[in-house]
Structure 1
Amino acid sequence: MEVDHLFEIGDKIVYPMHGAGVIKAIEEKEIQGKTQQYFIMVFPVRKLQLMLPIAKMDDSGMRLVLNMTAIEKVMDMFRQGEIDRSLTYKQRYKINTDKMKTGKTQDGAEVIRDLMLVKKEKALNSNEKMMLREAMQFLISELELSNSMTEMQAADLLNDRLNVEKDAG
Structure 2
Amino acid sequence: MSDGTPLKQPEFKVGDKCVHPAHGVGEVTTIEERAIGGTTGMFYILKLHNGMKVMVPVGAAAQVGLRPIMSDKEADAVLDTMRAREVAVDLHPWSRRFRAYTEMIKSGSAYEIAKVLRDMYRLKFDKELSFGERRLLDQAKGLLMKELAYAKKVPEASMSEEVAKMFTA
Q: TM-score, normalised by structure 1?
A: 0.84
> Which residue in the other structure is 2:100 paired with?
95
How many residue pairs were aligned? 160
Structure 2 counterpart of 1:76, from 76, 80, 88: 80
Matches of 2:69 and 2:21 in 1, distance apart? 12
1:59 aligns with 2:47: no
> Which residue in the other structure is 1:154 paired with?
156
Q: TM-score, normalised by structure 2?
A: 0.84
CA RMSD of aligned residues (A): 2.0
How far does residue 146 in structure 1 lie from its aligned partner after superposition?
2.9
Structure-to-structure mapping, 1:27-66, within 5 angstroms = 27-44=32-49, 46-66=50-70
1:126 aligns with 2:126: no
How far does residue 145 in structure 1 lie from its aligned partner after superposition?
3.2
How far does residue 86 in structure 1 lie from its aligned partner after superposition?
4.7
Matches of 1:79 and 1:24 in 2, distance apart? 35
1:112 aligns with 2:117: yes
Q: Letter of the aligned partner of 1:49 in structure 2? A: K
Q: Which runs of no fewer than 5 residues in structure 2 stay unpaired?
A: 1-8
> Which residue in the other structure is 1:163 paired with?
165
How far does residue 98 in structure 1 lie from its aligned partner after superposition?
0.8
Structure-to-structure mapping, 1:2-17, within 5 angstroms = 6-17=11-22
How far does residue 114 in structure 1 lie from its aligned partner after superposition?
0.7
Identity value in percent? 26
SS class of match (2:132): helix
Segment of structure 1 superposing worse, 22-31 or 115-124: 115-124
The C-alpha deviation readout for 1:56-76, integer Å capped at 9, x for no partner, is 212111110012232122112
Matches of 1:28 and 1:111 in 2, distance apart? 37
Contact 1:23 1:40 in 2 (8 A): yes
Contact 2:15 2:29 in 1 (8 A): yes
Q: Which has the higher contact order (CA 8 A, sep 6+)?
A: 1
How far does residue 135 in structure 1 lie from its aligned partner after superposition?
0.7
The C-alpha deviation readout for 1:32-86, integer Å capped at 9, x for no partner, is 3221111101112x22110011232121111100122321221122222244555
The C-alpha deviation readout for 1:83-134, integer Å capped at 9, x for no partner, is 4555221111111111111111111111100111121222211121111111
